[in-house]
């Protein structure tokens, strides 16, 4: 009985292993065929970003104003600095929060679309006192700027990318 049980378990393991390998090979073949078909499409027929929507890309979106800087790292730091300067210039401390001496951090999330527009800003974490509404308002005003954000890129194409921004608010 023991030998039969061992043989049965071994055959079961081999069967599942071979099915797993076969499934994996089938998936690889399917992905390769899809990539072949996509690469043969005319540029206007290719999907631009639907498959790449997320929060990490080869090139993350940047606030405008630093495109003249050749070094990518310095350009990103400059863009972050300009975004914060803009944000705090536009931010109005809510009266309720000012009266109560409230401070804290609001975390807001939005995405930058393929054209550099700010879309769907929402507060993920707040402190009350009207801070969340004010932060979302300021984020929405970024679409009124003369220059749009520089969109994120994946494989050389502009794509939608989520952007999460923690905003520290305190009285001066």
Same domain (yes/no): 38, 64: no
SS3 content of the chain, % helix, strand, coil (to 5): 45, 20, 30
- Judge if 80 and 101 occupy the same domain: yes
**Average of per-residue pLDDT across 154-160:** 89
> pTM value?
0.65
Backbone angles phi, psi at 21, to 5 degrees: -65, -45
User: Structural domain of residue 24, as residue ranges?
Assistant: 1-46
Q: Are residues 37 and 116 in the same domain?
A: no
What is the domain count for the chain?
Answer: 2
Same domain membership, residue 85 and residue 18: no
57 and 125 belong to one structural domain: yes
The per-residue pLDDT for range 35-53, each reduced to its tens digit, is: 555 545 444 333 333 344 5
Helix (H, G, I), strand (E, B) or coil at 170: coil
Sign of the torsion formed by the C-alpha atoms of 124, 126, 129 and 134? negative
Q: Is residue 5 domain-shared with residue 90, that is, in the same domain?
A: no
Q: Residue 171: which pLDDT band, with cuts at 50, 70 and 90?
A: confident
CATH code assigned at 117: 3.30.1150
Stretch 11-23: mean pLDDT: 50
Residues 6+ apart with CB under 8 A from 128: 97, 102
């Amino acid at each position: 009985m023991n030998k039969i049980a061992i043989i049965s378990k071994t055959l079961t393991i081999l069967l599942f292993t071979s099915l797993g390998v076969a499934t994996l090979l089938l998936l690889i073949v399917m992905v390769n065929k899809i990539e072949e078909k996509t690469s043969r499409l005319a540029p206007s027929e290719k999907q631009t970003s639907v498959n790449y929507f997320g929060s990490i890309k080869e090139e993350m979106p940047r606030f405008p104003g630093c495109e003249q800087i050749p070094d990518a790292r310095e350009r990103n730091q400059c863009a972050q600095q300009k975004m914060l300067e803009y944000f705090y210039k536009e931010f109005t401390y809510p009266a309720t929060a000012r009266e109560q001496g409230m401070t804290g951090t609001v975390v807001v999330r939005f995405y930058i679309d393929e054209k550099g527009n700010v879309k769907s800003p929402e507060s993920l974490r707040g402190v009350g006192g009207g801070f969340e509404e004010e932060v979302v308002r300021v984020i929405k005003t970024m679409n009124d700027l003369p220059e749009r954000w520089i969109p994120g890129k994946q494989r050389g194409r502009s794509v939608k990318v989520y952007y999460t921004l923690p905003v520290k608010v305190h009285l001066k």
